[in-house]
Chain A
Amino acid sequence: MFGLVHLVPGDPIRLALGTRFDQETYDALRARAGLDQPLVEQFFGWAGRALRGDLGVSFRTGETVTSLISERLPATLTLAVASILVALLIAVPLGTLSALRPRSVVDRVATVLSQIGISVPEFWMAIVLILVFAGTLGWLPSGGYVPLTEDPAGWAQRLLMPAVVTGVVSGSVITRFVRSSVLEALGADHVRTAQAKGLPARQVFTWHVLRNALLPLVTVTGVQLAYLLSGVVVVEIVFSWPGLGQLALQAVQSRDYPVLQGAILLFAVVFLLINLVVDLLYTAIDPRIRR
């Protein structure tokens, strides 16, 4: 809760943004939005309303912030979930394989691939994919979003490229964690004991190695998911994906405080929720933590 109070939309940002208004708009908006009141009062007023589900009205469009955000939420959630699936599909097999055979060809190839994945600019990969799959081959639409309920095939086609782009980048980060945590688990005493007992390799791996390697994996996946839910502005723009990142970018550019505050509050809540889920998963995976 401490974090939430402090996170609430950026006193510093908000203060500083204020100086950029031109004077007339500034005064009018200040009065209307209650910005002429002391900051503390503004904050409590805003927080009180936010608790009742009222995030205010956009300066720019006049729509309520809650409706603006809920319009964007499905697209963002879809992309984030799809990306994290792509990421895990890449990272778990690749990381495990390279940990099982350290310094082998597979390991080296996996290391190089993950380095490339971390280093490649997302928006460049997006442009290259669009060029190849939407331009030259013409297999996929170059961008946009349609809801699943309206056109499942179109939804999947439009989701594929952005999900792959963000998934590859997140997957590269996760691969490295999987590799090092599996390696660490492999070296643990209980694994050696299990091997010495003559348990089949497969059983040792599933029950003794993988389970212990799961904790760091859950943590890093949580971090990546939080990032995907908040930070993929550039990819959203290249693929014309109507997500929260675009909304937040527009809000920053037009100094639309209520929208920006609402978006940042949402990111903070998402961040806390993901941390909570990660903690709960911890206790589910590792009985030692329950005590």
Chain B
Amino acid sequence: MTGAPLPEPAASPTATDAGVPSTARPPRPRWRQTLGLLARNPTAAVAATVLLLIVLMAVFDESLAPSGPNEIAVEDRLQPPSPAHPFGTDDLGRDILSRVVLGAAVSLRVGFLAVAFALVVGALIGLLAGYYGRWVDDVLMRFMDVLFAFPAVLLAIAVLAVRGPGAGNTALAIGIVYIPVFARVTRASVLGVREEVYVRASRSVGASDFRLLTRHVLPNAAPPIIVQTSISLAFAVLAEAALSFLGLGTQPPNPSWGLMLAEGRGFIDLAWWLAFFPGMAIFLTVLCFNLLGDGLRDVLDPRQRTLMAGSGR
């Protein structure tokens, strides 16, 4: 793999200092560098494109779906895949393709909400624990350890048992499960940044903790958190499917992929397409989030990259 596309050295020595590009060629913002690098990684680029399509599909679900997700046509029930119904129909004659398209909105919404919740709470806890250390660290991280020690699925099920089933509660349940993961990742990353010279320098000129945290610590501690976000999205979609499959997540007649799988399970001998296509949708989405996460790790976390790519030391 080639290195980062650093700004090309200026032809004339206009740079004021070594390594600082001239004002004529401002350095590309970091997010654009990242995007550029990501585009050179074919797997990650394909994964990102497919995800974009899935997200678009989820956003424009109503206008994309060939028919209403809950449109019942009993005379068409359990039709195998055909030009009229590319993914077939279910036991009530509902078009599976339409339900898969609309299910994307449900599954992704829950996934994004869950990860956003875990990210905000977890990163805040990790930031405080890592930055202040000592008793703050001890109290917060022991609490995280307790949360982490519960089997993930059971913890989510317990939250749902308390709050009742439904999409919003499913997001909350999955979010709670992933808080410790984000707290740990953030804390580890902050510990690495906290003692950097620029942080100490900024502190020595009297910058407030808030300024230090938001301007210096968080931006520099961000890469592993971003990678974790992508990977967690994969697991959140998977978890939503599992919980809906158990009947605790999204409730019928709303089309969630996990729920469709559960409904299709009863007809598996008669009509394989009922369970097959929603399963494929889950699999494809999760796979893409995972691949994107790997790609992001390659780009953002070079230490991991040497390890993973095996370019030796």
Contact = CB atoms under 8 A, between A and B. Distances in A.
Q: Please indicate whether A and B come from the same complex rather than being unrelated chains.
A: yes
Interface of A: 2-3, 6-7, 10, 13, 16-17, 19-20, 99, 102-103, 115-116, 118-124, 127-128, 130-131, 135, 180, 183-184, 187, 227, 230-231, 233-234, 237-238, 245, 248-249, 252-253, 255, 260, 263-264, 267-268, 271
A11 B269 CA distance: 44
Contacts of B294: 115
Contact of B149 (A118, A237, A253, A271): A271
28 contacts: A3-B149, A6-B146, A7-B149, A16-B162, A19-B162, A99-B310, A102-B309, A102-B310, A115-B287, A115-B294, A116-B283, A119-B283, A121-B238, A121-B241, A124-B283, A127-B279, A131-B272, A135-B268, A180-B307, A183-B310, A230-B151, A233-B157, A234-B245, A238-B265, A248-B154, A252-B158, A264-B154, A271-B149
A264 B245 CA distance: 23
Interface of B: 142, 145-146, 149-154, 157-158, 161-162, 234, 238, 241-242, 245-246, 258, 261, 264-265, 268-269, 272, 275-276, 279, 282-283, 286-287, 290-291, 294, 307-310, 312-313
| 4 interchain residue pairs of minimum CB distance | A124-B279, A102-B310, A230-B151, A119-B287
Contacts of B258: 121
A234 B242 contact: yes
A231 B161 contact: no
B150 A127 contact: no
A186 B264 CA distance: 48
Nearest to B274: A127
Given A131-B272, A231-B151, A121 B161 contact: no
Nearest to B290: A119
Contact of B275 (A124, A184, A230): A124
A106 to B, nearest CB: 13
Q: Say what secondary structure dominates the interface of chain B.
A: helix
A233 B149 contact: no
Contacts of A128: 275-276, 279
B146 A7 contact: yes
A22 B103 CA distance: 34
A245 B246 CA distance: 12
Given A252-B161, A253-B161, A234 B154 contact: no
B150 A119 contact: no
Contacts of B312: 187
Nearest to B313: A187
Contacts of B283: 116, 119-121, 124
Contacts of A238: 265
Contact of A118 (B151, B269, B290): B290
Given A128-B276, A135-B269, A237-B246, A115 B151 contact: no
Given A99-B310, A103-B310, A116-B287, A234 B153 contact: yes
A234 B247 CA distance: 11
B41 to A, nearest CB: 13
Given A6-B146, A135-B269, A183-B310, A231 B286 contact: no
A6 B142 contact: yes
A16 B307 CA distance: 44
B162 A127 contact: no
A241 B112 CA distance: 32
B168 to A, nearest CB: 17
Given A10-B150, A10-B158, A115-B287, A123 B276 contact: no
A231 B152 contact: yes
Given A16-B162, A187-B313, A233-B157, A127 B152 contact: no
Contacts of B153: 231, 233-234, 245
B291 A115 contact: yes
Given A121-B279, A253-B161, A263-B154, 17 more contacts: A3-B145, A6-B145, A7-B150, A123-B261, A124-B275, A127-B264, A127-B279, A128-B276, A135-B268, A183-B310, A233-B246, A234-B153, A234-B245, A237-B246, A248-B154, A249-B246, A252-B154
A279 to B, nearest CB: 17
Contacts of A264: 150, 154
Given A7-B146, A115-B287, A135-B269, A20 B261 contact: no
- Among A2, A19, A233, find the residue whose CB has the most chain B CB atoms closer than 10 A: A233
A195 B158 CA distance: 54
Contacts of B264: 127
A17 B265 CA distance: 30
A202 to B, nearest CB: 21
B180 to A, nearest CB: 13
User: Counting chain B CB atoms within 10 Å of each CB, which of A119, A124, A135 scores highest?
Assistant: A124
A267 B158 CA distance: 15
A184 B307 contact: yes
Contact of B261 (A116, A119, A127, A230): A127
A135 B269 CA distance: 6
B308 to A, nearest CB: 6
A249 to B, nearest CB: 6
Contacts of B162: 13, 16-17, 19-20
Contacts of B151: 227, 230-231, 248, 267
Nearest to B241: A121
Q: B268, B272, B309, B310: which has the most chain A beta carbons within 10 Å?
A: B310
B18 to A, nearest CB: 32
Contacts of B307: 180, 183-184
B179 to A, nearest CB: 13
